[in-house]
Structure formats: C-alpha cells, structure tokens
Amino acid sequence: MHDWTAAARQLAAQVTGEAPEWYDAVAATPRHRLVPRWWEPVAGSYPPYWQLITTSADGPYSNKTLVTRVGRQHADHATEADHGTGAPTSSSTLPGLIVDMLHLLDPQPGQQVLDVGTGSGYSAALLGHRLGDELVTSIDREDYLVRIAKERLAGFGRVPTIEVADATTTLPSGQYDRLMATVSVRPIPPAWLEALRPGGRIVTTIAQTSLLISADLDDDGTAYGRVLPGPASFMRARQGADYPPRFDDVYAAARDASGEEIRRVEGNDVPDLWTDWELRCLYELESPDIEHRSATLDDGSRIMWLLSPDGSWARAEQASGVVHESGPRRLWGELDRTRSRWYDAGRFPLHRMSAEFGPERSVLLSPDKDWQFEL
C-alpha cells in the first residue's frame, strides 16, 4: 500500500474508543503485510464458495474478519483462477473484536501473555508492540501458519515467540499471567489452567456458542469469571487439517421430507436463531453439537432446520406453521423446552451468567444458580 499508516490510524480511531491504551499498537501495525491475500464468500452460494482477493487497498484496514484459509487451501497458495470451497479454517479476526478482548485481558507491564491461535499474527503484533515481544508467546497447530506469521512479523520488527502446539493438549512450557484464545474450545482444557499463575486471566469463547468469557484463576486452581455482553465466536480448535464433514447428509433428508412427527405452531413461534443469539446459545449449551440452518423465502417467511449427528432433524416452516421432526431425538421439542425454561426465568441477559473453569469440571451458571451447563 502507498500510505498504510493513514489507514491504520483511521482503523485505530474506529476500534479503540473504549480501549485507548491499544490505539498506538493498532496504528503502528501494518495489517496488509500480515494478510496480503484472503478469501471472500460469493454472495448467495451454499455450500460456501469463495473468491480470492488480492487487490483491495483498504480491505486490511477495514474492521472485518479476513478469511485466509478455507478447507485445506490457504489464500497464499491460491491463484486468482482458484475458487475455495468448504468452511473457513483460519482467519485474521476483525480488529475491533481483538481490541475488545485485549482490553478485557488487561495485561500489565512485565506480564507474560499466551496468545492461543496465531492465525495471521495480528494479535501477537499488537501485544508485542504494547508489552514487548519478549513477553508474548503465540501458538498455532499448523507449521505453515507459524512459519509465515514469524516471517511477516519479523519483516516489520516484531519478534514474539511463536510455536507449533495443539491448544487442547500441551502448551509451551512456562507460566503465564494472561491467556487469550482466538480459537474456541469446549470444555476449557486443564492445560490452560496449569499454565496460568494464580490471579492470571483467561479471555476465551465457548465452542458452538457466541459466548465471550473472562475468568481469573483463584488459588484453589479454579478460574472464576463471567459472560461478557454481546456475541463473539471463533472457529473451533481442530485436530486435523480441515474440519470433518458435518451434516450435509442429514440436511438432504430434512430439506423437504415429511417428518415422522408433524406438529403445528404459530408462525411467530419459529425463532430466528441467527438474530436471537441468546436463545441460540442456551440451546447450544443444553443440546450440544446441533447444527441449525435457515432460509428466507420470496414471501419473507423463514424455514429453519435443526440437524443432529445421529440423523435426527427438525424443519420449522414459518409460513405454514408446521414443524416436521424425525430421528431418535425431537430437536424442535428440545429447543422449545429451552425457550420455555428461559422465558420462565425472566429471559435473563446472558451476561449475568457466571463461569467456573476447574481442572475436572467447567460449568456456566444462570444468575440464580438453578440452571447449570456442564461444558
């Protein structure tokens, strides 16, 4: 870019209003050097179909997540004739969310920080600028991501420690005062607690939900914390180069078929789980590993599908007020029970929930502690 500094300062002004301590780090970080190429979805495509972006001057300095890898294909290794397919497997998270998490993390001078999920290296760059590279360790599970992040960071003078590691098992040796994860996990790995000094802080998200959580480690080895306002989500920590196939075969059966059980509901009883993120999170906590999909028809009405790995499915049609269900589980019934229980509890905002992460048990609790979600 001809003058990236002006764009970086503009981005810093946009995203650090509530976290002014991070302004200088954002303004000084050439994000375009960390993300020279990325994938953007082709509008209306499903399954996701991606096009390579290589020429956008302002893209790296927009407050957007830039997807750098889809399936097994990194944008660095693609040509403009290539089209990516599959789900995102690595990205550079939108800077505003990274700054919000860093503000919650609140690292102090001299404290050691572990950045879980190197990705493009942007978080490590911000941390290194503010704290000093010698206090920052960043990990990712893939050799290429670690190698290219090191090269690109060193190109503008940032040299944090970056290592290949599986975030769900063994972390780099040492003790840390702060741990921030831009991959989601469930439950919190015991290794994270073991790596923290007493009083240390974790800022992370819970896989399959949009819950952002900050928790501090007590002397008893348990981290106590709270859910933060607003949704935030990250890719789930994975074991292989790509995520395993999900529910396309279940969706094929659920798309138009008549269910084993059919019930009628009022059209406005079909929730939009994309916008009603609090209901979606509670349902995902009570009924783990359920995928939901939706479509908006020409008349503006919605269809929602709930899909389970055991072949169970539900399809709710807003226009007709009909719900079809099949398989060993009744997924619509589970959603309806979660919604009723939440409504009976006064529809408490999720940021009133508390969190306890221990070496043997991770749990989220409703404000009255009557509702507990084992992670």
Positions annotated as catalytic residues are 90
Write out 221-255 in H/E/C secondary structure: CCEEEEECCCCCCCCECCCCCCCCCCCHHHHHHHC
Collapse the DSSP code of 344 into the 3-class scheme (helix H, G, I; strand E, B; otherwise coil) and give the result: helix
The residues that bridge with 295 in the sheet, in sequence order, are 303
Burial class (CB in 10 A: 0-12, 13-18, 19+), 322: middle
Phi first, then psi, for residue 343 (nearest 5°) are -65, -40
Q: What is the DSSP string of 93-110?
A: --HHHHHHHHHHH---TT
Instruction: Provide the residue type at 277 as one letter.
Output: W
Sequence-distant (6+) residues with CB within 8 A of 100 are: 18, 19, 232
User: Both ends of the chain: CA-CA distance in Å?
Assistant: 45
Is-contact 269 319, C-beta < 8 A? Answer: no
Burial class (CB in 10 A: 0-12, 13-18, 19+), 199: exposed
Phi first, then psi, for residue 171 (nearest 5°) are -95, 165
Tokens (6 digits) for 221: 């080895």
